[in-house]
Amino acid sequence: MLEEAELAVLRGHQQLYSRSLTKASNAINNWYDSSNTRIIALSQTLEELSQKNVDPELPDISRSLELLKARLAGRLDNGEAEKNGSNGEQGDAS
pLDDT at 45 over 80: yes
pLDDT tens, position by position, 53-62 = 999 998 998 9
User: How far is 5 from 17, CA to CA, in rounded Å?
Assistant: 5
pLDDT band at 24 (very low <50, low <70, confident <90, very high): very high
In the chain, domain spans? 1-57, 59-94
User: How far is 71 from 8, CA to CA, in rounded Å?
Assistant: 37
pTM of the model: 0.62
pLDDT at 86 over 60: no
pLDDT band at 94 (very low <50, low <70, confident <90, very high): very low
What length is written for the chain?
Answer: 94
Over residues 40-48, the mean pLDDT reads 95
